[in-house]
Copies of this chain bind each other. A is one copy, B any other.
């Protein structure tokens, strides 16, 4: 298992969980906001479902941003946002980075740091619900391998945790969430 990560905070860098042909792994989302005109750029060889997921996250933050410490209510007219998913050549798709993307957007617009020792997965809807995703077992094993000891998972996936080998799950803290408000309480620097 990877070296356990320290509890540090970064703005605009959030750990997701991905499920690939060769097993689970973490998937970093990086974000930058700049003075601009409301353009949302997405790079990293993303498929259409993932692009739509980012659009959903962006709308959710537009509608609810002030609840999360974003002062500029009309950021969508004054800021350009660029979200990048390294490594650039690896195709990525699916809705499961929804809460990771949401967290990245809130972080760069509010300036609040995000915990780097924690990873998350879950589909987001425009009303802020968190929906079930696939590959929970592989994702958690992959996160454990790179030193992650705490994860956020959709409440709808709670039953999938029983499939994780106990030598991994015994090290892990699991947080199950139904909506984004619960994610927010867990990830940001106070």
Residues of A at the B interface (CB closer than 8 Å) are 12-13, 30-32, 34-36, 41, 43-45, 48-49, 52-53, 55-56, 59-60, 62-63, 74, 76, 82, 84, 86-89, 94-95, 98, 123, 125-127, 129, 131
Contact = CB atoms under 8 A, between A and B. Distances in A.
A49 B45 contact: yes
A63 B32 contact: yes
Q: How many copies does the complex hold?
A: 6
Contact of A87 (B35, B41, B89, B95): B95
Contact of A59 (B32, B44, B45, B87): B32
B126 A32 contact: yes
A87 B123 contact: yes
A177 B106 CA distance: 30
Given A30-B126, A74-B35, A125-B30, A59 B86 contact: no
Contacts of A76: 34, 36
B44 A45 contact: no
Nearest to A129: B86
A162 to B, nearest CB: 23
Nearest to A58: B82
B59 A41 contact: yes
Given A35-B74, A43-B56, A88 B126 contact: no
A34 B63 contact: yes
A59 B35 contact: no
Given A30-B125, A125-B84, A48 B49 contact: no
Given A32-B126, A63-B34, A84-B125, A55 B41 contact: yes
A53 B22 CA distance: 25
A52 B63 contact: no
Contacts of A53: 43, 88
